[in-house]
Chains A and B, each alone.
Chain A
């Protein structure tokens, strides 16, 4: 593999695809949208090329791309149904959509996001779709924390202890409870775009973790942010109410949603805290206030009551 060639060659492929769609390319240049170990994303005009994670395999990615192509109005459809190979990485092509402005999180479209997730959870899961990968990602963040020996001990201990309160399925040590629903698997505000840009309807992007599983996982991040005191109650209420109004199945239509949310919110609080600690350690800095809120929440976690240990929403 030649990772140093991945970015320029991905840009060249994005350009070629863009020019096939629109030979008279207005702004003829490539923009790198992301370049991380697990994903490289390049935009050229209205085309976006994504190199999927190195461990991504066609047997899993193809049904995920197919699902996106078949759920218009919920997921951004890919330009091509099958991934290409580039330097050993699977590459897919997408139309450009306008993301939420990270500088203006107050403009977060909570209601639209909730309705999209509710629609996804109610949609029949296409045959052959693998499991939603949320728990695998959480377990990976914890594994990285365990190996980060120089991480601050008190914080790491609190996070690892909280991880012990999470049931096996949410630690990717057992299958998720059945019957599962179609889940996004990695929902956060970076997973929304307006297509056609700039003012089309909101759609979900990123199929890498899409699959069948516990739908409350997709509500887990906002739930965790709220529980940790980071997301204001009114924004959490708007999100939850819109999800229920759209007929979402992850939580009961009324009453306390936490029996269903508790496990995913714990797991995602642990995941986010673990990432924060390893990142702060790599950057040689202490945890900031928001990151400390996550660790403090981990510190308050006690074992899940046995009646919730299955984590299966009714």
Chain B
């Protein structure tokens, strides 16, 4: 999906079981219905006196190199590197 503010592609991340979308351009975050409540709930658990042992941290996807906002969606299901084998990309690599 595209960021409603800057129209850059948004990437989906899983934060403690909550799916959030973050814009690859302006880094804005989009929450679906109920997700804010879910995050608030998690936060309140975290601040309780005896918090449960933290689960293995749900990290962001393996750090892809930085890319411009106008770039193709990298990582996840958006990866298109199959084009590398494409004849015309092979030609592009070698031409002005």
Contact = CB atoms under 8 A, between A and B. Distances in A.
A95 interface: no
Contacts of B7: 300, 302
Given A229-B80, A258-B67, A293-B83, A188 B95 contact: yes
Interface residues of A, number: 40
Interface in B60-92: 64-75, 78-81, 83-84, 86-92
B13 to A, nearest CB: 17
B33 interface: no
A188 B94 CA distance: 6
B92 to A, nearest CB: 6
B93 interface: yes
Contacts of B96: 137, 186, 188, 190
B83 A233 contact: no
Nearest to A301: B70
B72 A293 contact: yes
Given A237-B65, A240-B65, A257-B66, A229 B73 contact: yes
B31 interface: no
B86 A290 contact: yes
Given A229-B83, A288-B86, A293-B80, A266 B93 contact: no
Interface in A234-267: 236-237, 240, 256-258, 261-262, 265-266
B90 to A, nearest CB: 6
Nearest to B80: A229
B10 interface: no
B65 A233 contact: yes
A291 B88 contact: yes
Q: Summarize B's interface: helix, strand, loop or mixed.
A: loop
Nearest to B73: A229
Given A230-B81, A230-B84, A233-B64, A189 B93 contact: yes
Nearest to B94: A190
A112 interface: no
A297 B70 contact: yes
B80 to A, nearest CB: 4
B74 A230 contact: no
B23 interface: no
A301 B6 CA distance: 11
A236 B93 contact: no
A101 to B, nearest CB: 10
B34 to A, nearest CB: 30
A100 B65 contact: no
A60 interface: no
A227 B70 contact: yes
Contacts of B83: 229-230, 289-290, 293
9 tightest CB-CB pairs across the interface, nearest first?
A229-B72, A227-B71, A190-B94, A290-B89, A300-B70, A229-B80, A301-B70, A290-B86, A290-B88
21 contacts: A186-B96, A189-B93, A190-B93, A225-B89, A225-B92, A226-B65, A227-B70, A228-B71, A228-B72, A230-B81, A230-B92, A256-B66, A261-B68, A266-B68, A291-B88, A293-B83, A297-B70, A300-B9, A300-B69, A302-B7, A302-B69
Given A297-B72, A302-B69, 18 more contacts: A100-B94, A102-B91, A102-B93, A105-B84, A188-B92, A188-B96, A189-B93, A227-B72, A229-B72, A230-B80, A233-B65, A256-B66, A266-B68, A288-B86, A288-B87, A289-B86, A291-B88, A300-B8
Interface of B: 6-9, 64-75, 78-81, 83-84, 86-96
